[in-house]
Structure 1
């Protein structure tokens, strides 16, 4: 269960990062068309938050993998 939740956190981080990147790209197109400044710090925070979420999930996966007991094979 712990591994599943950690993998879901990684997936959530990837989705947030892609959504933030797409929003940043679209905002850049609108900024270019209208002549406004293309700097939008909230979208950059969204992208970095997605990267941080994926990183935390990756660390959780590594910790969950290390906590698994070794299986003994009897012969």
Structure 2
């Protein structure tokens, strides 16, 4: 299972910000980082019109996650 988000391709600050937000989100869920697998990325195809409108290429980040062994109370 993966948590996924989009960042700016080639922009290390954007990539690290997205990964940090995913890791912070995980703290509030019953999931945790699955350190046995690697974080993956996939460059999405944007045609010229989309690239022009966005001003950058997109990169999809996939952070491997798994269920926590001990669940947290999400309603607290």
Return the structure number with greater helix share. 1
TM-score using structure 1 length: 0.29
Q: Which has the higher strand share?
A: 2
Q: Which has the larger radius of gyration?
A: 1
